[in-house]
Structure 1
Amino acid sequence: MTPGDFKKQGANLTIEYGFAPSPFGVCLLATTERGVCYLGFVDEDKEELLEQLKAEWCNATFVQNASTIQPKIQKIFYPSLAPSRPITLLVKGTNFQINVWRALLTIPSGNLVSYQDIAQHIGKPKASRAVGTAIAKNSIGYLIPCHRVITNTGALKNYRWGTARKKALIGWEAGKRALEIAENL
């Protein structure tokens, strides 16, 4: 997203969205012609999550379209069942946030790193706290894998969609990775 697009807060942008089941509970997926712009998980209140999306892209036009969302959810969570075309993301953030999110994309599935590791990766070794803040602003859960980041002590803290869901995501990926390793023996 260009700085001009960032300032427009989604003006001239149509966002299709829908709620659908995922392996980790009901999620809200939002997409544009340019890519996925939101993936969040519902705990109790779908409307609250939808309001967060609309606040983030306050000048966009929103169209609910569950029929196009479900196949995209399948592709995201079960990529082996869908054609293998990369999923494009449309992110909106500061340069620092985008650098942090890019670093998250380099963490292999099934692996965990610390906030300090991410800070070092982006060349800001003393910015662990700022890294944590940038990670908390990630609006494209799972695809930008903020769940793969833990504290230096190994604690799972402050996951936007709940610690239990973070544990489930980590466990699911670890299980898939173990299966891949076993199949290659």
Structure 2
Amino acid sequence: MSVTELATITVGDYLDAKGNVRVTSAVRVDVSHNGEERPLFWSNKRVVAAMDAYLAWRVERKQGVTVKKGAYRGLDPESALFLTEDGGAYSLTKRQLPSGVWSYSCNALGAYISRLHANAGIEGGSAQSARRTFAVKQHRQGRDLVHIAAILGHKSVSTTKRLVEGDPVRLADIVARAV
């Protein structure tokens, strides 16, 4: 997901009213970076465990909670899924591109993600580099570009192809086999 998408998805995109994880959800049109809905899967056990721990932490600190007991695990379904350290929603910056199209960014969340990468020892890591790593790993494992593009929300498979073509491991392998 893009940083802007992460900043704007809600608790209701992750949980149903009974508090169960929505294994299959969607990146809504109003949230997606390309203006098109696409599937969103909460099926990775490690991601779900981390998300559940994070949401329990939020409830303990009363961040984004609702008065409806039990619904959505006590969280407001319209609350942003990811909150700032102060418990507020991340703010978006709106700007108009030279083409006339409006673009949104979330620099605070992008900076936070970069700090998480740095703390994990990943130099120069960002949300975009994580998306690229995901695409390259899926491609190395034999996943087709059409499915990778759908998950990443690319309108064109050529965008995904450009992401995976610069795979440094593949380039090194080509050089190693050249002699």
Tell me the TM-score normalized by structure 1.
Answer: 0.28
In our comparison, the structure showing a higher alpha carbon Rg is 2
If each structure's strand is expressed as a fraction of its own residues, which one has the higher value? 1
Structure-2-length-normalised TM-score: 0.29
